[in-house]
Amino acid sequence: MAGTTSTAYVRFEEWTGRRDVPTLGTNTGAPTLPFQGWRRFKEAFAPELVRMAIEEVGNVQKVIDPFGGSGTTALAAQFLGARPSTIEVNPFLADLIEAKICRYEIDKVVSGFTAVVDKAYGKSRDPAELLLHAPPTFIEPGVAGRYLFSKDVAARFCAYRSAIGTVEDLATRRLLGVLLGATAVPASNALVSGKGRRYRRRWKEAPINPDVIDTMFEQGVLSALFDLRRFEARRCCDYEVLRGDARIRLTEVEPADIAIFSPPYPNSFDYTDVYNIELWMMGYLNSAKENRELRKSTLRSHVQIKRDLSAARPASGSLLEQTLKSLEEVRAALWDQNIPPMIAAYFDDVGDILKGLSSRLRERGRVYMVVGDSRYAGIDVPVAAILAEQAESWGFELVRSEPFRSMRASPQQGGGRELSETLVVLARV
């Protein structure tokens, strides 16, 4: 029609393809999607879960995710035309999320990238300055002959890091930083999984060549540019990313219609550990104290650090009380004596998040949360059932609790024995 312009938006299905995912939980087993391969994040759930939730509720304008991770909810919401508000405590992951969902002037990204390559390709910069406070195991000579990066690899990495630091455009600088960060683990002498970090076999005999950083960074940027350009016209281009502890920052997020998220599971998996290499190598962490502070800001789902594990007493006769009692009975057999109080603290924290959400969501607004059970010394911690029982005390009613048919054990469970993952749907009363 004359005088009108129509925008052709890129559809959600163009991003995900029409695929059959074995489960909408955190172990989709599906090949990596555009954006999601920038830094593989095994604990991500399927974007189709976000579509299902948004379509089920209808007329969703705004979505909250208090545990952003790799940004699945935020990115899927943009494709579906809803404005995402995301919180993420891990600063590397928060930058990864924002790098995926912010707007770019592609010309600026291209010229920033070219300037960085001109300054850093094949060059070295003494790591002593940028990585002065990194743990001694990071850079050769390391400790007892073991180190994550040879001096040459660290020097090439630092050449890029300092070149990226000179890029003027903030969005470009963040994007290039995230993509350089994504080269850190593959360029290290270690393998990282949900179970922790271990050295590669024969890492000393077959050392990493510093040139892999040039190659991986260049490939990473070209492939990200392709995703950004191809999926630029999403129905919503706006967003809010809050960095820090969701238990504190939730009061600041914009009111919304729905919250779609997956909190860490109470399985002693510490995300700060898993992303420790990127956090130090990219300068998000500069002292042991900062590392401790970051860990303390995470949900109380692990026992790796000494921290306050105090929690409210569970209601008498509740499933949580019974579970804590059973854990106390096997305390001597637990690999860490703090597991029972950690479990109590976990439900205290998740309860605080739900209470916070009940004041950010509109009436009858919904929560879609993917949670996973845990097991310690043969005692099951039935997370979904405990949450369902307590939902009312946090201002919600249970709509449904739907176990996922998981093909394998979830990555959040360390890939070990099968434990169930459940979608818990709540409505604000």
**Beta-bridge partner residues of 422:** 371, 403
Nearer to ligand SAM, 88 or 98 (CB): 88
Contact window for ligand SAM (CB under 6 A) among 82-90, 170-178, 276-284, 381-389: 82-90
**What is the nearest approach in angstroms of ligand SAM to the Cβ of residue 245?**
4
Structure tokens, 81: 């035309």
**What is the nearest approach in angstroms of ligand SAM to the Cβ of residue 129?**
28
264: contact with ligand SAM by CB under 6 A: yes
**What is the nearest approach in angstroms of ligand SAM to the Cβ of residue 165?**
24
The span from the CA of 139 to the CA of 137, in Å, is: 6
The span from the CA of 28 to the CA of 7, in Å, is: 32
Query: Residue 398: enclosing H or E segment and its boundaries?
Result: strand 396-403
The span from the CA of 233 to the CA of 320, in Å, is: 46
Contact window for ligand SAM (CB under 6 A) among 125-133, 211-219, 243-251, 277-285: 243-251
Q: Which amino acid is at 5?
A: T
The span from the CA of 127 to the CA of 213, in Å, is: 15
Q: If DSSP codes are grouped into helix, strand and coil, which group holds residue 139?
A: strand
90: contact with ligand SAM by CB under 6 A: yes
**What is the nearest approach in angstroms of ligand SAM to the Cβ of residue 412?**
6
Nearer to ligand SAM, 151 or 249 (CB): 249
245: contact with ligand SAM by CB under 6 A: yes
Tell which one of 38, 45, 284, 376 touches ligand SAM (CB under 6 A): 45
Tell which one of 43, 95, 373, 421 touches ligand SAM (CB under 6 A): 43
79: contact with ligand SAM by CB under 6 A: no
182: contact with ligand SAM by CB under 6 A: no
Structure tokens, 44: 């991500």
Structure tokens, 113: 């990238």
Tell which one of 38, 41, 149, 404 touches ligand SAM (CB under 6 A): 41
Q: What is the pattern of x (binds ligand SAM, CB under 6 A) and - over residues 282-301?
A: ---------------xxx--
Residue in the block written with tokens 């706006």: 238
The span from the CA of 344 to the CA of 335, in Å, is: 17
**What is the nearest approach in angstroms of ligand SAM to the Cβ of residue 244?**
7
86: contact with ligand SAM by CB under 6 A: no
* C-alpha torsion sign, points 380, 385, 386, 389: negative
Contact window for ligand SAM (CB under 6 A) among 118-126, 152-160, 239-247, 321-329: 239-247
Nearer to ligand SAM, 113 or 269 (CB): 269
101: contact with ligand SAM by CB under 6 A: no
Q: DSSP string of 347-384?
A: HHHHHHHHHHHHHHEEEEEEEEEEEE-EEETTEEE-HH
* C-alpha torsion sign, points 205, 208, 209, 212: positive
Tell which one of 48, 88, 278, 373 touches ligand SAM (CB under 6 A): 88
Structure tokens, 371: 């949670």
Structure tokens, 13: 């299905």
Chain positions contacting ligand SAM, by CB under 6 A = 41, 43-45, 66-67, 69-70, 72, 87-90, 93, 245-247, 261-262, 264, 271, 297-299, 412
